[in-house]
Amino acid sequence: MSRAKVIVAVVDGLTPSMLEAAIERGSAPTLAALAERGRYGRAVSVFPSLTPVCLSSLATGAFPDVHEIPHLVWHSRRENRLVEYGSSFGAVRAAGIGRTLRDTMVNMNAEHLGKNAVTLFEALEDAGLVTACVNFTAYRGRVQHRSPVPLLGTVRGPRRFFFYNVFESDETGAPLSWKNRAAGSIDAYAAAVGRWLVTRDGFDFLVFYLSDYDWASHALGPDAAFDVLERCDAAIGALADAAGGLDELLERYAVVVLADHGQSRVHSVVRLEERFASVPGALVTASNRAGQVYRLEGCSLDAAELAMLLDSDRSVDVTLWREGGVAVARRDGEELRFAPGDAGWELSGDPAVLDHPDGLRRAWTAVANPNAGDLLVSPVAGVEFADLAGNGHLDGGSHGSLLTADSEVPVITVGIGGEVASIADVAPLVLDHFGVAQPPYTREPARVG
């Protein structure tokens, strides 16, 4: 079995249709060449299909029931406060800028990411390998790094750790990441660091994360930002250049390229809070295309009753909640009750309620997340839920729901065996590749809690 080093490149928000169109047009030559040398397919994201939830699954191979990151914005029962990872600038301001920065850059890994989840950086460093990541937000590792930004202090990350200039394990000469996001300065920073790392062969495992494509897709709508995808392609091409060419890169490294979630067009932005305005103790946290309702002290309705308030709401596709060891999904007044059993899923009710890609597993692991709301809401196509500040992406793109467009991602694998049907399959694949033991949750079915 090959023990080549591994690079996982994540293009945030890239849809399969966009990648295929760009390859067809000739505007993604590096990705086309990688697909030609390896395998191209599609995989399914987790739910909610939002970046912090997805990147945590990519890093750990765990679903949200184990990694415990529930959403872009959620209520911490332990601390009795809101956690916001940066839905929009307005939402960041509403939650408090310093607090959001700390939650996103420090606490998500140090406090929120489940203690039973094991990141690739932890597992591989424990096996004596050198891990690295660039701009990847689920970075928890074994090596302490101090930020020059006093508010951030120290965190534990991979040995070689580069995070938007606020954490840098090595002096690389890369340009400032935040200089001009619209012009691509964040991915340019990633490309410069990636080039530096490959030139030195400075890692066994690298996660190379490109965030600009998702940002552009939110503004322009899905499958439109060809120029930004071209820059992403060039950033991955920069890794090949640093190795002396694509063939030389692939001699040294197995490569996986994928997205964390898809994107779909937004036709209307809805304030989910308004639906629950008359219910005392019902706290809504919503952003992009997923919403949650938390039952705080004094909430007079249970989750099923909260769900029924949305029965005639045409913006809602499915509501989800838990009743003891069983999950319930409700759509158009029809219900499906389900739980993982010894011989597969135990179902009662209408299975068509959850006919979404990998629907049962994604819905179950979302409601089984201890940090999730008591009710989860997945909207119909075209609808977005406004964030804390009332912001959305009207006439642009968004993601977060159980529906295919938000959930399906392209996957290219070169030099690494195994099937990637879910984004959570990447971590176990990488561990197998290096012959490193799996954490128990990647080999066991989701359990009734």
Residues near Zn ion, by CB under 5 A: 214
Cβ closest to Zn ion, residue 123 vs residue 259 = 259
Pick between residue 131 and residue 211 the one whose CB is nearest to Zn ion: 211
Work out how close the CB of 214 gets to Zn ion at its nearest, in angstroms, rounded to a whole number: 4
**Cα–Cα distance measured from residue 50 to residue 400, given in angstroms and rounded to the nearest whole number:** 5
Helices H, strands E: what count in the chain? 16, 23
Q: How far is the CB of 44 from Zn ion (least distance, A)?
A: 17
CB of 52 to Zn ion, least distance (A): 10
Dihedral of CA atoms 116, 83, 86, 165 in degrees, nearest 10, equals -60
Place of tokens 């293009």: 11
Closest CB to Zn ion among residues 261, 275? 261
* Residue 204 vs 214, nearer CB to Zn ion: 214
Question: Hey, which residues does 184 pair with through a beta bridge?
Answer: none
DSSP summary character for residue 401 = S
For residue 156, list its beta bridge partners.
144
Rounded Cα distance, 72 and 410, in Å: 22
Pick 214 or 374: Cβ nearer Zn ion: 214
Cα 373 to Cα 27, 164, 282: the distances in Å are 42, 31, 10
* C-beta closer to Zn ion: residue 12 or 65: 12
Least distance (Å) between residue 376 CB and Zn ion: 18
Q: How far is the CB of 409 from Zn ion (least distance, A)?
A: 13
Tell me how far, at minimum, the Cβ of 399 lies from Zn ion, in Å.
6
Question: Sign of the CA dihedral 356, 448, 423, 109?
Answer: positive
Compute the distance between CA of residue 225 and CA of residue 41 in angstroms, rounded to an integer. 21
Alpha carbon of 1 to those of 127, 414, 415: distances in Å? 17, 14, 10
What separation in angstroms does the CA of 126 have from each of 28, 344, 395? 36, 34, 47
8 A C-beta contact, residue 339 and residue 259: no
Minimum CB distance to Zn ion, residue 398 (Å): 7
Residue with Cβ nearer Zn ion (109 or 217): 217
Residue 63, CA distances (Å) to 128, 320, 364 in order: 26, 16, 10
Q: What is the 3-state secondary structure (H, E, C) of 220-286?
A: HCCCCCHHHHHHHHHHHHHHHHHHCCHHHHHHHEEEEEECCCCCEECCEEECHHHHCCCCCCEEEEE
Q: Which is nearer to Zn ion, 160 or 393 (CB)?
A: 393
Residue nearest to Zn ion (CB): 214
Q: Which is nearer to Zn ion, 54 or 120 (CB)?
A: 54
Rounded least distance, CB 50 to Zn ion, Å: 7
- Smallest gap from Cβ 217 to Zn ion, in A, equals 7
Q: Check if the beta carbon of residue 162 is closer than 8 Å to that of residue 133.
A: yes
